[in-house]
Amino acid sequence: MPKDILTFRETKKNDIKTVGGKAVNLGILFNSGFNVPDGFTATTKAYYGFLDENKLNKKIGSIIMGINCKNTKNLDANSKKIRDLILKGKINKNLIKEIEDQLKKIKADNFAVRSSATAEDLPKASFAGQQDTYLFIKKNKIVEHIRKCWASLYTSRAIFYRKEKNIGQGSKLREKGTKIFSPVSKKLGYDKLSIIFLPGLGKYPFDADDIEKHSGIKTIRVDSRDPEVIHNSLMLAAEKTGICPIVIGYSDGEKYFFNYLKEFGDNNIVSAFYGIGSDKGKVEELMDPKRVFYINGEKDNLAPAYDKLLLRYGEGYGGRTKRPVFKVPGATHVSLVKNSLDISFIKGIIKETLEIMHFNLFGIAVVVQEMIKPDFAGVMFTVDPIYKKDILVEATLGIGEKLVSGKVTPNSYFIGRKNFEIKNRQVTEDIDEGIIVKIAKIGAKIEKLYKKPQDIEFAVKNKEIFILQSRAITTL
């Protein structure tokens, strides 16, 4: 059961929908032994509860539907309407008490309050600076600034960026208590479902259009092996229909979906997985088996139908699967898909007590973290975005926000990725270069942890190095 408050120690990689990208990364770093200032997250559950209690879902959804990102005046006006609604909302007393209880456990006078959206700090969309951050906030002002962070989910800049990245705007916000399906009948509301079709590579006897035509369900083909692309497609489909989609994997498509699950986890974003032309069954290792279906191979839902085809068309060309692989005319194959995706397929899901979740993609969590008053601070790119050869460390005396916002010209150090020697420097302030090299070595370890180049914020106080956040570099 999701919680309103989650400490860094409790945060796991698969908590992206609960705490957002920034907080997930902080949890990963904290639990991997890096020196991260202590803190906690007010989760998306707290945000959704706030929307429900203040009856804001329909109001915000209605405003979103009227946004035109190409019209600046329209965008700014609607952005302000949404933010005003959130800023005027009341926060539940129980949530306020939970926040206060967590603050008592952290021995600090000042805190950083940072937004952590569910579509933030992703490998291909960092959202850096899109939502608000507040520094040096006293304990008695934390709740107020959490609400300000919630409102910043709908700044004009954030709305426009989401549109540009084709991530969506959360126009299908959750209505509490909504039931998706009434008792099983032929009136199941196919318009409420969507299918993500992962075909693998190569030519196949049917395509997304065939599935959509014969099943009556909106079908989106995703030609990518990239787990991040698959993830974004799933979230878009879920947002547009309000229900987690079905995924169909054909041939190698099952392998791509398995790789997606390894990186992002199940998290109930998918209502069911449907494997065609495969008997690998790996998906069941990472996803609830009750929501996994196959029509070819060992776990064959349509084995009898395929047996008849085998008799009709011969043994074909064989293959590695335990059930012989054979060529089936496209129209016949489409018929098989139609039959299994039709009412019987949906009935089967519901019969297994599958709950198709009403989906609320668009959430925001808020990180509350001990504020470090540093001697110097800055950012580090484990692969410099200019020459793409070295580690780039930029640092300035005082807090790093001055650097991030462009208010100061920082010291810049290009450091070898193998020998960690400073190869080039541009210096305007007196900063200990020995510590700079140590920071670069920590950056290399963080990159190894994520297996991708990282954009890292750090602070140094009394020669102690603190890692404030890390995100994938999206500009390489």
- In one letter, which amino acid is 84? D
Which residues lie below 8 Å from residue 213, measured CB to CB, with a gap of 6+? Answer: none
Inter-helix orientation angle 156-164/72-88, to 10°: 120
Burial class for 398, CB neighbours closer than 10 Å (0-12, 13-18, 19+):
middle
Please choose, from the candidates 248, 247, 251, the residue with its C-alpha nearest in 3D space to the C-alpha of residue 320. Answer: 251
At residue 200, the pLDDT reads 65
| Residue 243, helix vs strand vs coil | strand
Contacts 24+ apart (CB under 8 A), 50-55: 50/86, 50/89, 50/91, 50/92, 50/95, 50/147, 50/150, 51/89, 51/173, 51/174, 52/174, 52/176, 53/89, 53/90, 53/92, 54/85, 54/89, 54/90
What CATH class is the domain 190-351? alpha beta
Burial class for 274, CB neighbours closer than 10 Å (0-12, 13-18, 19+):
buried
| Residue 414, helix vs strand vs coil | strand
- What whole-number distance in Å separates Cα of residue 217 and Cα of residue 69? 29
At residue 215, the pLDDT reads 59
- What whole-number distance in Å separates Cα of residue 141 and Cα of residue 273? 46
Which residues lie below 8 Å from residue 270, measured CB to CB, with a gap of 6+? Answer: 234, 244, 245, 246, 247, 287, 291
- What whole-number distance in Å separates Cα of residue 296 and Cα of residue 311? 16
CA torsion sign for 428, 432, 435, 440 is positive
- What whole-number distance in Å separates Cα of residue 318 and Cα of residue 327? 9
- What whole-number distance in Å separates Cα of residue 311 and Cα of residue 260? 37
| Residue 329, helix vs strand vs coil | coil
377 pairs with which residues across the strands? 396, 459
DSSP state of 389: S
- What whole-number distance in Å separates Cα of residue 104 and Cα of residue 111? 12
Inter-helix orientation angle 93-104/142-151, to 10°: 120
| Residue 388, helix vs strand vs coil | coil
- What whole-number distance in Å separates Cα of residue 172 and Cα of residue 194? 14
Please choose, from the candidates 286, 199, 180, 281, the residue with its C-alpha nearest in 3D space to the C-alpha of residue 247. Answer: 199
* Residues 316 and 333 sit within 8 Å (Cβ to Cβ): no
CA torsion sign for 364, 365, 368, 374 is negative
Counting every residue written for the chain, the total comes to 476
Sequence ranges of the domains in the chain: 1-174+361-371, 190-351, 372-476
Given CATH 3.20.80.10, say whether it is the number of domain 372-476. Answer: no
The token pair that represents 87 in the structure block: 């800023």
At residue 129, the pLDDT reads 52
- What whole-number distance in Å separates Cα of residue 134 and Cα of residue 368? 10
At residue 288, the pLDDT reads 72
Burial class for 186, CB neighbours closer than 10 Å (0-12, 13-18, 19+):
exposed
| pTM for the predicted model, two decimal places | 0.64
Q: In Å, how far from its chain's centre is CA 287? A: 17
- What whole-number distance in Å separates Cα of residue 139 and Cα of residue 96? 12
| Residue 453, helix vs strand vs coil | coil
The token pair that represents 29 in the structure block: 């770093």
- In one letter, which amino acid is 112? A
Superfamily designation of domain 1-174+361-371: ATP-grasp fold, A domain (3.30.1490.20)
Tens digit of pLDDT at every position of the chain (476 positions) = 568 999 999 998 878 878 988 899 999 999 999 999 999 999 988 998 998 899 987 788 778 778 888 899 999 999 999 999 999 999 999 999 999 999 999 989 999 999 987 755 444 444 445 577 899 999 999 999 999 999 998 898 888 877 666 555 553 333 333 332 222 223 334 455 677 778 766 555 556 776 666 556 677 888 888 888 888 788 777 666 656 677 878 777 888 888 888 887 766 667 777 776 555 567 878 877 767 766 554 444 444 444 444 444 444 323 333 333 334 444 444 454 445 444 444 444 433 323 334 444 467 899 999 999 999 999 999 999 888 899 999 999 988 666 666 667 889 999 999 999 999 999 999 999 999 999 999 999 999 999 889 999 999 999 999 999 998 887 76
| DSSP3 helix / strand / coil % (the chain, rounded to 5) | 40, 20, 40
At residue 62, the pLDDT reads 78
* Residues 261 and 242 sit within 8 Å (Cβ to Cβ): no
Topology alike, domains 1-174+361-371 and 372-476 = no
Per the listing, tokens 């196959």 go with: 294
Per the listing, tokens 């949890």 go with: 27
